[in-house]
Structure 1
Amino acid sequence: MPRRFRLLIAAVAFGAMTVPAHAATVTIVMENLVISPAEVSAKVGDTVAWVNKDVVAHTATARNGDFDVMIQPKQTASTVLKKAGNVDYYCRFHPNMKATLKIAP
C-alpha cells in the first residue's frame, strides 16, 4: 500500500507541473497621441497587444531595455512579457506618450 501511495503522489505532482498556465492578452491603445490605460497590470508570460489607432507610427520603448516595439499606423503589434517588475515605457517619436506596465511573476 505505501508504494501505491508514493506512486499516486508522484503522478499528481508530475501532473501539476505539466499543466500549462493560461497566459492572458493585455490590450493597450494608442490614440490621439495618448497611451490608454497609462498603467496596466500583467503577468510574466502574458502578451501585450499595442493597438495604434493614430495615423502616425508609435513605439512602445521600455526605459530599462526590455522591449522596443514599433507599431505602424492603424496596426497592432505585440510582445510577450519575459520578466517581472515595473516597466516604464514611452513612444520614441512622441516622448510625451508615457505609461507603466506592472508585471507580476
Structure 2
Amino acid sequence: MLPRRILLTALALGAMAVPAHAATIQVVMENLVVSPAEVSAKVGDTIEWINKDMFVHTATARNGDFDITMPPKKTVTSVLNKAGMVEYYCRYHPNMKAVLKIAP
C-alpha cells in the first residue's frame, strides 16, 4: 500500500510542474512606425507596447482580440492569451500596422 501512495504522490507532483518562463517582447511605436512589424510569440508571453511618440497610439487587432491604447511617452503591457496570427493597426494612424504570430 505504501509504494502505491508514493507513486500517486509522485504523479501528482509531476502534474504540477512549473511551466516554462514566459517572454517579454517589446513593440515600439515611434515616428508613426511599429517596430518590429512582425513578432513571433507564445501564449503567456507579455507584450510591452512602448509609445515613444508625442501622441496617442493604439494596437487594435483586426479580429477583435485586443484594443490597447498607449498614451504619449508611456508603456503599456498585455499578456497574450490566444494562439493565432493577429494583424493589428493604430486606429488613429491606420498606416501603422503589424502582425503578431502567436504559437500555443
Identify whether the pair has TM-score above 0.5, normalized to the shorter chain: yes
Go from structure 1 to structure 2 and tell me whether the alpha carbon gap of 1:86 and 1:19 turns closer, same or farther (over 3 Å shift).
Answer: same
Q: How far did residue 20 of structure 1 move?
A: 2.9
State the partner residue of 1:74.
73
Alpha-carbon RMSD across the aligned residues, in angstroms, is: 1.6
State the partner residue of 1:14.
12
Q: Give per-residue Cα distances to partners, 1:21-65, cap 9 Å, x unaligned.
A: 221111111111100001111111111110000111100000111
C-alpha distance in 2, partners of 1:102/1:42?
A: 6
Q: Percent identity between the aligned chains?
A: 60
C-alpha distance in 2, partners of 1:48/1:78?
A: 6
Normalized against structure 2, the TM-score is what?
A: 0.89
Q: How far did residue 13 of structure 1 move?
A: 3.1
Gaps of 5+ in 2: none
SS of the residue 1:14 aligns to: helix
C-alpha distance in 1, partners of 2:32/2:10?
A: 51
Q: Match for 1:98: what amino acid?
A: K
C-alpha distance in 1, partners of 2:61/2:93?
A: 14
Q: How many residues align?
A: 103
Q: How far did residue 7 of structure 1 move?
A: 4.1
Normalized against structure 1, the TM-score is what?
A: 0.88
